[in-house]
């Protein structure tokens, strides 16, 4: 009976994690370059003890992994000259207050000194340092498919499109940034990309799939909750009523 309480309660824990991820996905439908995430729980077999008749050894059933879906979002035309969409594999590289970070959010602009920056002001890194535009020139900025930033025919730098070994082992941070799980993770330059100027990458959140998963997780949680209440009622009767002398 106590094992029944354990099974029901432990089944609810990963479902709460799943709901959190789904809610975060749906909240970022309109976030440029956002990558949806999900949860993964391994088979219950790993929780069994050596004695198959006594599987409960104070193990907790928790989410084993939160994974990120790195599939590309749709290219949205903005016609803004500093908006870029990285078509293919790779990440824009930026220097944040926390160090070098990587992003698919190509909503770029210029700071007061003419440096190319991300939406939150982090300097965009080029292959040979930061990229600076002459704001007094007044000439339009052109960004080529290869990531070269040109102004009046002058090369102001080339976007550093970074790439990692696949499957990616990256940690998600705020503002659309990622960083390697390990400081020793090799960072290379992508060779399979094309930069599209005047476009942004939309979120890759699949609304229908996430809504269906949310409903499914809610119903599973509700079923576990009902099982928990049923076990609790049975235990209550066993303790307070069974064997009572009339």
**Model confidence at 224: pLDDT above 80:** no
pLDDT digits (tens, 9 = 90+) for 150-167: 999 899 999 999 999 989
Which pLDDT belongs to residue 118? 97
Ramachandran angles phi, psi of 161, nearest 5°: -100, 105
Q: How much is the mean pLDDT over the chain?
A: 86
- According to DSSP, residue 175 is labeled G
HSE, side-chain direction, 13 A CA sphere, residue 139? 14
pLDDT digits (tens, 9 = 90+) for 68-109: 999 999 999 999 999 999 999 999 999 999 999 999 999 999
Residues 212, 160 contacting (CB under 8 angstroms): no
**Model confidence at 112: pLDDT above 70:** yes
* 237: helix, strand or coil: helix
More confident residue, 120 or 224: 120
Instruction: Tell me the two tokens of residue 150.
Output: 């040109």
What are the C-alpha distances in Å from 178 to residues 37, 71, 141, 193, 199? Answer: 13, 15, 27, 18, 21
Indicate the domain borders of the chain. Answer: 2-70+205-240, 75-199
Of the candidates 232, 240, 115, 119, the one whose C-alpha atom is nearest the C-alpha of residue 174 is 119
Residues 123, 56 contacting (CB under 8 angstroms): no
């Amino acid at each position: 009976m106590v094992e029944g309480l354990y099974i029901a309660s432990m089944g609810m824990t990963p479902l709460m994690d799943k709901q959190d991820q789904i809610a975060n996905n749906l909240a970022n439908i309109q976030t440029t370059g956002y990558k949806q995430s999900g949860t993964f729980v391994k088979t219950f077999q790993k929780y069994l003890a050596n004695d198959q008749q006594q599987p409960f050894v104070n193990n907790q059933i928790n989410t084993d992994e939160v994974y990120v879906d790195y599939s590309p979002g749709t290219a949205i035309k903005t016609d803004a000259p500093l908006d870029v969409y990285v078509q293919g594999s790779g990440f824009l590289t930026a220097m944040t207050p926390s160090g070098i970070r990587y992003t698919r959010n190509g909503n770029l602009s210029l700071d007061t000194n003419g440096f190319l920056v991300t939406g939150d002001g982090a300097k965009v890194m080029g292959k040979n340092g930061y990229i600076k535009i002459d704001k007094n020139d007044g000439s339009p900025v052109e960004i080529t498919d290869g990531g070269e930033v040109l102004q009046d025919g002058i090369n102001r730098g080339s976007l550093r499109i970074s790439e990692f070994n696949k499957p990616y082992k990256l940690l998600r941070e705020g503002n659309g940034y990622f960083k390697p799980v390990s400081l020793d993770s090799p960072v290379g330059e992508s060779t399979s990309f094309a930069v599209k100027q005047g476009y942004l990458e939309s979120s890759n959140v699949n609304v229908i799939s996430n809504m269906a998963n949310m409903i499914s997780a809610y119903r599973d949680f509700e079923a576990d909750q009902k099982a928990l209440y049923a076990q609790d009622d049975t235990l209550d009767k066993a303790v307070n009523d069974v064997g009572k002398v009339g």
